[in-house]
Structure 1
């Protein structure tokens, strides 16, 4: 006779660690130039995980090896708008020599799971798969239709993933009104109080090429039309530009909440009070501090081919992030800073997002967190980066960042994103599946 323990059904909490390890061990590095391994192997793993429990997912390649997986779960109330529950399978590259462990080893050490993608975002992928598998085994339906989507290419703007599907397969999102994905729902300590940051906004993105043309010539001659000189001056102006503090509604509400928790003064006209409130967020200050103004960081330079030849062209690359409602003004400022001799050429641009911290879905997310962590505070915040919610917004889908994780206060969580030695607590994964399960049952 089997023991009660052996007869117990496998749960999402039992599976999530193993699923996350499996995904971390699949190298899906996205170099942004088509040279990476692609997402096919990871997508095939997702397909097998879903079909094993009786679901019928669809595999969609936008290009060879650039793979996406989607499945629709019928809900208890089909009259409600569907919820898109999405993750991305690609990761940014990792230089193994910089890491303490193999970045694609999925190693568990001291209660932490290490690997590229551990927080961005194979942890959430694993939580989604674990919860969906448990619901399928138990024959449970979510509160409303749920479209589970695992996208390709998020780390390079989604041209082979969410954006391609929105443009070419919008039928897969029929009836969807809201979405949840990265980067929100994680905990921080504010003056000793555990607080979860729910993402209700994200900055827009403008990756731009700065191009300077000049007069080519001999390096020994006087040249007042030197492309390198024109470009260097523009890069310096842009890189040093003091963007003014601008508090959007989401940031304003977050800072009000931090002030309530800490007793610190908040004056939206006083940058000193804002800086102190941002600092009170601990490691999350790295994210939040970049959302009180636009930013523009030069990231690449290129010109010339020989020491004694003045080139006729010089180029740089700029990563600019702008606040919701401030994209056009930011671009105008960048054109002015570039000057007459340098032009801006778009590489990749996408919108900023800002949605209300209210409504049934927000209430359900907050309630799911409180059910697992009573007494915690939940505040909205703006993400300094971007997510696939930008693409879904083109279909009128309202997106939130909600990958719930209860984290130790000493973990510098924001440094994990695209960082060396990326890792996530295993206890955070089991917490996350409990919260997600509650959310799908009610939200």
Structure 2
């Protein structure tokens, strides 16, 4: 017999749901309640929670620290054939900051708005939902006496929101701990989709972060001085925004293209004359000797990195102008959609009546570190009919969408672990 529970936010706001679903949602809320905001995170409350979840389900768990204070929780579901390559179901524990003043509820309360059936919390989309959906799907499969052929590792990693370095996934994949996992296929995060179709990502744009600096003539602030640093940097800025506009137009003129299919660039910092980096002391009536801009470029796999590199070098080709790269990638790594594991994954979605788009993730995820090791990995978060709110105020996920995602993962895990 199914027990029905009524619970409310107010006396007039009542929703009746199954007891089993209530327990699932309460576990999700418990994970969301744990503050894992960057920077300087205490991960151990989340680690303790996840270890207890593993024990509840009847799974083995291990904690690996490549860097002290940056734990990776690795939960193991042993398969029938340990000689086969394993499946990694990955998510990250850390979340970005949330300004309580801009939210309608405490970002870590995990407020359940029963009127619209939404849970508001930092991490509800990015990406504590996915980690818990993996575990709930495995809970249900074990209750059905399903045993995977391949071993499954459900991994909860740190430091994704700050680039995956400093003890994050970048360091894990280079360690002997990762080699022992023998991963043959993996899943990581995707994005929500505002319409009926889900999003499936086979690659992502690479980041190229650079600083262009100009040096020029100096003098009194009242004079018309030629070839100043700020004049030169202004010409660079104009070229950056012209290029940015061309990529925006590409999106507008080609409805079949999405953000991940073009190159984006944003100017992210400006300095002139009065900073330590520029080596000068600010004074309002002195034309500065140096000026610089920082920018963030994201290069789609559809465009060679060399081509973008050449473009940036042209922007910095004027005398007295130079470029310094803070971060740059030399090549793209994408997952072949014809890979046998990927085909099985996509077929599992189709068999569950899930319609989807395939594309390039517009930002960066930990999946790139596995793709660099030639491991096929797909980005997928089962959130359709949902606005994209990662890193935004009032981030939320609908309860029905969350529960359906668990069912989708049940079908996926059955298929990819054969």
What TM-score results when the alignment is normalised by the length of structure 1? 0.77
CA distance in 2, matches of 1:347, 1:39: 28
CA distance in 1, matches of 2:32, 2:379: 21
Maintained 8 Å contact 1:75/1:142: yes
- Say if 1:344 and 1:29 are closer, same or farther in 2 by CA, change over 3 A: farther
CA distance in 1, matches of 2:145, 2:189: 27
Alignment match of 2:324 (pick from 320, 324, 345) = 345
CA distance in 1, matches of 2:252, 2:244: 18
1:41 alignment counterpart = 45
2:369 alignment counterpart = 391
Q: Does residue 401 of the first structure (1) align with residue 368 of the second (2)?
A: no
What TM-score results when the alignment is normalised by the length of structure 2? 0.81
Q: Does residue 292 of the first structure (1) align with residue 269 of the second (2)?
A: no
CA distance in 1, matches of 2:178, 2:133: 25
2:175 alignment counterpart = 168
Q: Does residue 424 of the first structure (1) align with residue 403 of the second (2)?
A: no
CA distance in 1, matches of 2:221, 2:44: 50
- Say if 1:174 and 1:236 are closer, same or farther in 2 by CA, change over 3 A: same
Q: Pairwise mapping of residues 150-161 of structure 1 onto structure 2 (< 5 A)?
A: 150-159=156-165, 160-161=167-168
2:298 alignment counterpart = 321
Q: Secondary structure at the match of 1:353?
A: coil
1:381 alignment counterpart = 359
Q: Pairwise mapping of residues 192-207 of structure 1 onto structure 2 (< 5 A)?
A: 194-207=196-209
CA distance in 1, matches of 2:251, 2:89: 39
CA distance in 1, matches of 2:79, 2:20: 19
Q: CA deviation at 1:117?
A: 1.4
Q: CA deviation at 1:379?
A: 3.0
Q: CA deviation at 1:330?
A: 0.9
Alignment match of 1:436 (pick from 397, 400, 409) = 409
Query: Any unmatched runs of 5+ in structure 1?
Result: 247-269, 279-287
CA distance in 1, matches of 2:2, 2:256: 52
Maintained 8 Å contact 2:190/2:199: no
Alignment match of 2:71 (pick from 41, 44, 67) = 67
2:190 alignment counterpart = 183
Query: Any unmatched runs of 5+ in structure 2?
Result: 5-17, 275-281
CA distance in 2, matches of 1:316, 1:226: 15
Maintained 8 Å contact 1:16/1:127: no
Maintained 8 Å contact 1:40/1:66: no
Q: Secondary structure at the match of 1:141?
A: coil
Larger radius of gyration: 2
Q: Secondary structure at the match of 2:57?
A: coil
Q: Does residue 240 of the first structure (1) align with residue 242 of the second (2)?
A: yes
Q: Pairwise mapping of residues 26-175 of structure 1 onto structure 2 (< 5 A)?
A: 26-30=34-38, 35-109=39-113, 110-135=116-141, 140-159=146-165, 160-172=167-179, 174-175=181-182
Q: CA deviation at 1:65?
A: 3.0
Q: CA deviation at 1:68?
A: 1.7
Q: CA deviation at 1:52?
A: 3.8
Maintained 8 Å contact 1:15/1:130: no
Q: CA deviation at 1:328?
A: 1.9
Higher alpha-carbon deviation: 100-109 or 220-229 = 220-229
Cα displacement string for residues 410-434 of structure 1 (whole angstroms, at most 9, x for unaligned residues): x4x23x1222211111111111111
Q: CA deviation at 1:299?
A: 1.5
